[in-house]
């Protein structure tokens, strides 16, 4: 459907541009062709005169320019350019009619060449057809905006520092009753706590320069049972000689 509208609009635009360019070579009013009217006389207060004009100094110049604008609109598929060309043709045609009416005092439509003739009709029809072509044409299709691949699209499991992972539901603030990673109950032990001594000996080593603690069997002469010390350290024997 879009292609069909583009084809129909292009055909209408070319037809309207052709009619506008061909109109200055036809009789416009009172036996005068459009190419005989000076373009500069359309912008004066006195209106048109009987003086002749060169081809590129007549109404052919704005209509040729409008045809080129319409052709560019067809090539570029621009509705704006086609509509601008139609408005340009209609504007100069209406301005010419105003200046002719100002100079003649009145304007009549006659088929015998003594009034408004076919040349002006071609210009009006060409401008209207160009506007119709601009309405029919769909215009250029806007290109879709392509998304640039970012960290999330490039690596699904390796985003940026603020990109949550596939199993991250968001920032989690542990509450007062939220167990820690090693808290499993009131009797849980820390993972790095030392094991208790199976023999129950948990006394620390004595520091250097500290006297040893006294215990059972220790005395001023040493520790151990009597008679276990060196000779002469215990009680002397009193057995009589035989």
- By DSSP bridging, strand 222-223 and strand 32-33 are unpaired
| Predicted pLDDT at 67 | 97
What backbone phi and psi angles, to 5 degrees, belong to 117?
-110, -165
Q: In terms of Cα–Cα distance, which of 71, 67, 69, 40 is closest to 53? A: 40
| Predicted pLDDT at 8 | 95
Q: How many CB atoms lie within 10 A of CB 237?
A: 5
| Predicted pLDDT at 30 | 86
Average pLDDT of span 18-29: 94
Q: Which one is predicted more confidently, 229 or 87? A: 87
Q: Which one is predicted more confidently, 64 or 162? A: 64
As a whole number of angstroms, the distance between CA 197 and CA 73 comes to: 97
Average pLDDT of span 21-39: 92
| Predicted pLDDT at 108 | 74
Q: Which one is predicted more confidently, 118 or 225? A: 118
The string over 148-163, giving b where at least 16 C-beta atoms fall within 10 Å of a residue's C-beta and e elsewhere, is eeeeeeeeeeebeeee
pLDDT of 7 above 90? yes
Q: Which one is predicted more confidently, 165 or 132? A: 132
pTM reported for the whole predicted model:
0.57
CB 96 within 8 A of CB 117: no
Q: Which residues pair with 29 in a beta bridge?
A: 32, 116
pLDDT of 178 above 60? no
Report in angstroms the alpha-carbon separations of 11 from 4, 20, 108, 231: 11, 14, 33, 140
Q: How confident is the model at residue 233 (pLDDT cuts 50, 70, 90)?
A: very low
Q: Where are the domains of the chain?
A: 2-136
As a whole number of angstroms, the distance between CA 126 and CA 13 comes to: 9
| Predicted pLDDT at 102 | 86
Q: Which of 46-60, 97-111, 208-222 has the highest mean pLDDT?
A: 46-60
Q: How confident is the model at residue 222 (pLDDT cuts 50, 70, 90)?
A: very low
CB 58 within 8 A of CB 41: no
pLDDT of 27 above 70? yes
């Amino acid at each position: 459907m879009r292609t069909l509208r583009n084809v129909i609009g292009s055909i209408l635009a070319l037809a309207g541009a052709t009619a506008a360019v061909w109109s200055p070579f036809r009789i416009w009013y009172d036996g005068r062709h459009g190419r005989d009217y000076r373009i500069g006389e359309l912008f004066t207060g006195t209106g048109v005169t009987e003086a002749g004009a060169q081809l590129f100094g007549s109404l052919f110049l704005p209509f040729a320019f409008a045809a080129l604008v319409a052709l560019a609109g067809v090539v570029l598929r621009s509705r704006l350019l086609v509509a601008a060309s139609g408005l340009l043709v209609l504007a100069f045609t209406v301005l010419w009619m105003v200046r002719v009416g100002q100079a003649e005092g009145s304007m009549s439509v006659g088929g015998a060449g003594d009034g408004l003739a076919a040349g002006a009709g071609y210009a009006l029809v060409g401008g209207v057809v160009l506007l119709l072509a601009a309405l029919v044409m769909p215009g250029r299709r806007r290109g879709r905006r392509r998304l640039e691949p970012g960290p999330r699209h490039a690596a699904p499991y390796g985003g940026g520092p603020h990109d949550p992972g596939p199993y991250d539901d968001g920032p989690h603030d542990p509450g007062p009753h939220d167990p820690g990673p090693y808290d499993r109950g009131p009797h849980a032990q820390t993972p790095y706590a030392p094991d208790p001594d199976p023999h129950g000996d948990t006394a620390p080593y004595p520091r250097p320069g500290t006297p040893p603690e006294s215990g059972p069997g220790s005395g001023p002469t040493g520790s151990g049972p009597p008679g276990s010390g060196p000779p002469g350290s215990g009680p002397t024997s009193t057995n009589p000689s035989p």
